Amino acid sequence: MKIGNREFDVNHKTYIMGILNVTPDSFSDGGKWNQKDAALAHVESMLQDGADIIDVGGESTRPGFAQVDAQEEASRVLPMIEEIRRRFDVPISVDTYKASVAEYKASVAEQAIQAGADLVNDVWGLKKDPAMAGVIAKHGVACCLMHNKKEAVYDNFLVDMLHETQECVNLARAAGVQADRIIVDPGVGFGKDYEMNLLTIRRLDLFRELGYPVLLGTSRKSVIGLTLDLPTSERVEGTLATTVMGVMSGCAFVRVHDIKENKRAIMMTEAILGK
């Protein structure tokens, strides 16, 4: 799979998407990286520690988050994407679900692509903004489609979750997004209760069966905090356990805050598996 100017061996390796939240209110690191110099220094540190992609987000999606309008979100992410593109040779992802419909009064995804983003990471899997799939197809960039829903209500959780994720893929394909441009994300922490989140991690193999590279995003999330009874600042070890599960289940990407620790866990797990 090609993202930006880099080829990813998504069938045999697990790569790291490093998180850069340029927001004041993200659940784990809100306010730490919303100043340019600090953010760029953090990007450099993540790359030195082994990040393969940098994911730039301008709106928190933590529980109870305050939605920001597209202009505000764009004002946060666009300058950062431009600076990262200018200073570093790394694929860039933009974490947004806003494309170009009138409701949002701006085109965050399209402007981000024009600023240098190589991948659109949509936490609503193209279902929030009907224009998003077309924007992705128009520019030929990669996309990550996350499973999400407003309430954790299912008839049959695993069956329904896979079906709903396939719906996201169908939206992309119908708009003209090529199959080799698509990544799927089971959406740990979104539209799921505690037991559902654990089951999702346990059955990542089912997502592989959809036929697309899988991204696992569990870093410092509530399922870890609830299991270990720890605050966000003390969830590294719990995150590493989920990363190891991801590697063993064949996930192509993990989206994490703590790059160095996760890189080492991936390398060790891959060595044991003979990858």
CA separation for the pair 15, 91 (Å, rounded): 12
Contact indicator for 20, 80 with CB cutoff of 8 Å: yes
CA 100 – CA 175 distance, rounded (Å): 15
Tokens of 164: 């709903």
134-139 CB contacts, 8 Å cutoff, 24+ apart? 134/99, 134/175, 134/176, 135/99, 135/100, 135/107, 135/109, 135/110, 136/109, 136/172, 136/175, 136/177, 136/181, 137/172, 137/175, 137/176, 137/177, 139/110, 139/113
Q: Which SS3 state, helix, strand or coil, does residue 220 take?
A: coil
Residues serving a catalytic function are 221, 255
Give the torsion sign (CA, 247, 249, 253, 254). Answer: negative
Residue 145 tokens read as 């489609």
Start-to-end Cα distance in the chain: 18
Q: Give one DSSP letter per residue of 45-94, joined into a string.
A: HHHHHT-SEEEEESS--STTPPP--HHHHHHHHHHHHHHHHHH--S-EEE
Which one-letter amino acid corresponds to residue 67? Q
- Is the separation of the CB atoms in 162 and 184 below 8 Å? no
